[in-house]
């Protein structure tokens, strides 16, 4: 187990989750206005000029182009990046394939939210293993100060994030904002 700054990790996870919710986030206007970047830079000494939009309208467009275009290769949903189940007894034709919503990771996240007494936002009920929700839960675990729980959660649910960041760097159609943000998310969970 590595030593972590758990209070710093808790705050950072909350900040990083906001733009991944996109227009679903009540703080999305702060991201588009640039105040989110100023807070992030101030609190965590992160500076990156690409973490700002030229205009508020560009923020909505960046999110939609990066994550909401049908057939686009980037998604912030863990289950799409992993085999649907690790159960060797599963008999569904797609059970061990990647690219499907739901499965083991979504079920486990739904259980973890329930155990924590938290509700999954209705907008993401179809994807309880969305990266924004996973960052929020990681932040909560870090806030509780248990490094073993933090490390276990990262190993179980965030091991796919470096691949997402690499895909964002190599694929077209990814807004500069998210091309810059996803490596920071990957570094945070690493």
pLDDT digit string (tens) for the chain, length 190 residues: 355 678 788 888 988 999 999 988 888 988 988 888 877 776 666 656 678 887 888 889 889 888 887 666 688 999 988 876 676 776 766 666 666 678 889 999 999 999 999 999 999 999 999 999 999 999 999 999 889 999 999 999 999 999 999 999 988 788 888 988 999 899 988 8
User: Rounded CA gap, 95 and 185, in Å?
Assistant: 29
Within-domain flag for 96: yes
Q: Which domain holds residue 118?
A: 6-189
User: Rounded CA gap, 7 and 4, in Å?
Assistant: 9
Within-domain flag for 1: no
Q: Rg of the chain's alpha carbons, rounded to an integer? A: 16
Single pTM value for the model: 0.88
Q: Coil, strand or helix: which one is 77?
A: strand
Which CATH number covers residue 132?
1.10.3480.10
Within-domain flag for 167: yes
User: Rounded CA gap, 68 and 64, in Å?
Assistant: 5
Number of domains in the chain: 1
Tokens 């936002």 sit on residue:
121
């Amino acid at each position: 187990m590595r030593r972590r700054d758990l209070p710093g990790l808790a705050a950072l996870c909350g900040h990083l989750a906001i733009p991944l919710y996109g227009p679903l986030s009540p703080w999305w206007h702060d991201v588009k206005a640039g105040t989110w970047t100023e807070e992030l830079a101030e609190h965590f000494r992160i500076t990156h000029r690409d973490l700002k939009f030229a205009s508020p309208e560009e923020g909505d467009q960046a999110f939609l182009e990066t994550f909401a275009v049908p057939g686009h290769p980037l998604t912030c949903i863990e289950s799409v990046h992993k085999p649907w189940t690790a159960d060797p007894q599963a008999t569904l034709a797609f059970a061990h394939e990647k690219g499907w919503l739901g499965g083991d990771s979504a079920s486990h996240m739904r259980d973890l939210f329930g155990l924590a007494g938290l509700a999954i936002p209705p907008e993401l009920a179809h994807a309880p293993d969305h990266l924004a929700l996973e960052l929020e839960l990681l932040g909560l675990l870090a806030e509780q100060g248990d490094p073993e729980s933090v490390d276990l959660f990262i190993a179980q649910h965030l091991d796919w994030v470096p691949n997402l960041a690499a895909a964002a760097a190599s694929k077209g159609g990814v807004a500069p904002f998210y091309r810059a943000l996803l490596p920071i998310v990957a570094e945070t969970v690493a």
